[in-house]
Amino acid sequence: MEQVDPRTRILDAAEELFYGRGVQAVGMDAVRAASGLTMRRVYQHFPSKEDLVEAYLLRRDARWRASLAVHVSRAGGTPREQVLAVFDWLGDWFAEPGFRGCAFVNSFGELGATTPAVAAAARHHKAEFAGYLAGLVEAVGAPPATAAQLSLLAEGAITVAAVHGDPGAAAEAREAADVLLDAATRGRKR
Distance of CA 175 to the CA centre of its chain: 21
Region 1-47: CATH code: 1.10.10.60
The phi and psi torsions of 147 (rounded to 5 degrees) equal -65, -45
190 has pLDDT over 50:
no
Residue 76 has what pLDDT? 84
pTM score, whole prediction:
0.93
Residues present in the chain in total: 190
Question: What pLDDT, on the 0 to 100 scale, is given for residue 2?
Answer: 57
CATH H-level, domain 49-185: superfamily? Tetracycline Repressor, domain 2 (1.10.357.10)
Taking only the tens place, the pLDDT of each residue in 11-52 is 999 999 999 999 999 999 999 999 999 999 999 999 999 999
Is residue 41 within 8 A of residue 129, CB to CB? The reply is: no
Query: Could you tell me which residues come within 8 angstroms of residue 128 by beta carbon, excluding any fewer than 6 positions away?
Result: 61, 65
Looking at residue 113, its pLDDT comes to 87
- pLDDT over 60 at 135, yes or no: yes
In whole angstroms, give the CA distance from residue 141 to residue 112: 36
Please state, in angstroms and as integers, the Cα–Cα distance from residue 154 to each residue in 21, 84, 128, 135, following that order: 23, 11, 14, 15
Q: Tens digits of per-residue pLDDT, 58-105?
A: 999 999 999 999 999 999 899 999 999 999 999 999 999 999 999 999
Position 26: which residue type?
A: V
Task: Measure the N-to-C terminal CA separation of the chain; round to a whole number of Å.
Answer: 50
Counting DSSP H helices and E strands in the chain, the numbers are 9, 0
In the chain, domain spans? 1-47, 49-185
Model confidence at 3, in pLDDT bands (50, 70, 90)? confident
